[in-house]
């Protein structure tokens, strides 16, 4: 039997998100891309003529200066031109992505910046704890709510009844969410100890400090 192993190659992506970016930085990014693409043999047929892009950039640059006086018309015109520059920049960026053949060296000559993908290492979970343990609607019931936290895959809750000889055997249940869950079958007027732990990508947390609950 032959096993085929495929290596998944990450496609180079251009950084095209300008949310929260200043007008000056948008203009600088556009000028850098224009200079990189101009007469670049790796990118001969841009979807928008570079002469048009040059005009867009020059107009945007002038409107940035005009808008400094705070006039509403100037500011509105600048915003409209900014949107046009970003639109053309995005078209050119997608063109560069397609034409570079996933070659970082070729991509770099375009003047665009590649998106760098970094994987965040899983972090240890905080100690698990209960938000509440309340009596249920019926005798012998407890309504348990654990505190949610990011990165939790599941929760383990276990409980044991106190007796003359100490704690009885632990009863374990696994929760796939932090939603309230009703536990039935408790001894009326019995005293119980409840603990919780969380499961994350790095494993389990320690069991929490016991919470005492008296069943109705």
In the CATH hierarchy, which fold is given to the domain comprising 130-214? Immunoglobulin-like (2.60.40)
Residue 207 above 60 pLDDT? yes
Distance CA 200, CA 153 (A): 5
In this model, does residue 5 exceed pLDDT 90? Answer: no
pTM summary value: 0.55
**Segment 130-168, tens digit of pLDDT:** 999 999 999 999 999 999 999 999 999 999 999 988 999
Please determine, for residue 2, whether its predicted confidence score (pLDDT) is greater than 70: no
For the chain, domain boundaries: 23-109, 130-214
pLDDT tens sequence across 170-194: 999 999 999 999 999 999 999 999 9
| Structure-token pair, residue 190 | 């019995």
Backbone phi and psi for residue 187, each to the nearest 5 degrees, phi listed first: -75, 125
- Tokens matching residue 125: 């979970």
In order of 27, 28, 55, 143, the CA distances from 77 in angstroms are 15, 19, 15, 60
CA distance 42 to 52: 20
Is the model more confident about 74 or about 1?
74
Share of the chain above pLDDT 70, in %: 96
* Residue range 40-56: mean pLDDT, rounded: 97
Give CA angle at 15 (14, 17), nearest 5°: 135
**Are 149 and 125 a contacting pair, CB within 8 Å?**
yes
Average pLDDT estimate for 12-31: 96
User: Any residues with CB less than 8 A from the CB of 101 and at least 6 apart, and which?
Assistant: none
Question: What is the distance between the alpha carbons of residues 92 and 46, in angstroms, rounded to a whole number?
Answer: 7
Residue 7, pLDDT score: 45
Q: What CA–CA distances, in Å, run from 111 to 35, 37, 148?
A: 7, 7, 45
Binned at pLDDT 50, 70 and 90, residue 9 comes out as low
């Amino acid at each position: 039997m032959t096993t085929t192993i495929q290596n998944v190659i990450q496609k180079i992506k251009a950084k095209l998100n300008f949310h929260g970016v200043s007008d000056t930085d948008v203009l600088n990014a556009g000028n850098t891309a224009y200079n990189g693409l101009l007469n670049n043999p790796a990118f001969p047929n841009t979807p928008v003529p570079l002469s048009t892009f040059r005009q867009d950039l020059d107009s945007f640059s002038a409107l940035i200066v005009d808008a400094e006086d705070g006039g509403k018309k100037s500011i509105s015109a600048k915003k409209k031109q900014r949107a046009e520059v970003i639109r053309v920049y995005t078209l050119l960026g997608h063109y560069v992505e397609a034409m570079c053949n996933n070659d970082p060296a070729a991509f770099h000559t375009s003047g665009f910046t590649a998106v760098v993908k970094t994987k965040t290492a899983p972090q240890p979970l905080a100690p698990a704890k209960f938000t509440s343990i309340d009596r249920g609607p019926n005798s012998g019931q407890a309504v348990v709510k654990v505190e949610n936290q990011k990165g939790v895959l599941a929760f383990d809750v276990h409980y044991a009844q106190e007796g003359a000889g100490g704690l009885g055997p632990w009863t374990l249940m696994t929760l796939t969410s932090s939603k309230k869950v009703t536990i039935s079958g408790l001894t009326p007027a019995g005293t119980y100890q409840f603990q919780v732990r969380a499961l994350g990508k790095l494993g389990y947390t320690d069991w929490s400090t016991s919470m005492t609950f008296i069943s109705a």
